[in-house]
Amino acid sequence: MAERVVFQSGGSDCVGYLRRVGDRTGPCVVLCTGFGGTQDTPSVVATAEVFAAAGFHAMTFDYRNFGESGGQPRQVVGIEGQLADIAAAVSCARGLDHVDRNRVVLWGTSLGGGHVVTSAARDPAVAAVIAQIPFNGFPKKVEGRSTLSTLKLLGVMAGDWLRGRLGLPPHYIRAVGGPGELAVMTGDGAQRAIAGMTSPTWRNEVAPRGLIEMMRYRPGDFATRVACPLLVCIGTEDAETTPEMAAALAAAAPRGELLEYPVAHFDFYTRDVRDRVVTDQLAFLRRVV
């Protein structure tokens, strides 16, 4: 049974759920979702439950503006805001009963995978980091997206950014769409991704203004300052967070390790791939935490 926890970040109530391992003191994994993701996404819930079953307290949470957490406007990704939310979640976890405050681990997927690298660089007390298919900046050419669709996306990004400056509500677009659709992430695996992410609080829409911040965001700039063990798990067929850019995080970190899987980005959210990946992640945690 997951225990609801609430903590403050940036003036908003952020909601999380803790899966405890009995009443004994032990390490805790804080799980951070990807772009537009929510903590009740089936793959995130399943991963947290596996960690808890293996003896690690596991805490999920929603960033501000998403899911059960507060904050307005909704569905807006802000890089520094989400990094602050992660720091607040870690602080919350360290204060929970039966959590060893010296053994708090960060786990993140996609954009959250980049965030946990940046967060660990800023907080040297983090015990270990797992970055799954991590974001490390946009590639110069996005596979599967034509020049025309790229220009359309840039146009709505600029328009929504201006709306934000004027205090107007967001002009939402899909977070995940099929080939040719106006969406942040597109491709042949889009429908499979939507099926794997559907949950009570997840909405397949985001404010495109958040992509402008992401264009300037490179977690790799912080990777050299990650002092704790870092495991980076990538898909060699990933067209969303390209394997070359993601692998650079492991190469830059002093204690970085890399595991590669012959799959695409959204395959990590399917049960068979997830089971294999989480088994490897648990082996890493048992060795370093």
Cβ pair 9, 84 in contact under 8 A: yes
Written as tens digits, the pLDDT of the chain (289 aa) is 899 999 999 999 999 999 999 888 999 999 999 999 999 999 999 999 999 999 999 999 999 999 999 999 999 999 999 999 999 999 999 999 999 999 999 999 999 999 999 999 999 999 999 999 999 998 765 555 678 888 999 999 999 999 999 999 999 999 988 877 899 988 667 777 777 788 999 999 999 999 999 999 999 999 999 999 999 999 999 988 999 999 999 999 999 999 999 999 999 999 999 999 999 999 999 999 9
Which DSSP helix (H) or strand (E) runs through 94? helix 79-94
Decide if 184 is inside a domain.
no
Decide if 189 is inside a domain.
no
Predicted confidence at residue 154, as pLDDT, reads: 94
Q: Which amino acid is at 212?
A: I
Decide if 175 is inside a domain.
no
Owning domain of residue 100? 2-141+217-288
DSSP-assigned states of every residue in 114-151: HHHHHHHHH-TT--EEEEES---S--SS-TT--HHHHH
The count of structural domains within the chain is: 1
Decide if 183 is inside a domain.
no
Decide if 211 is inside a domain.
no
Decide if 168 is inside a domain.
no
Predicted confidence at residue 273, as pLDDT, reads: 96
Distance between alpha carbon 258 and the CA centroid of its chain, in Å?
A: 18
Decide if 200 is inside a domain.
no
pTM of structure: 0.96
Q: Which of 77, 39, 52 is nearest to 1 (CA)?
A: 52
Question: What mean pLDDT value characterizes the chain?
Answer: 95
Q: At 111, which CATH number?
A: 3.40.50.1820
Decide if 180 is inside a domain.
no
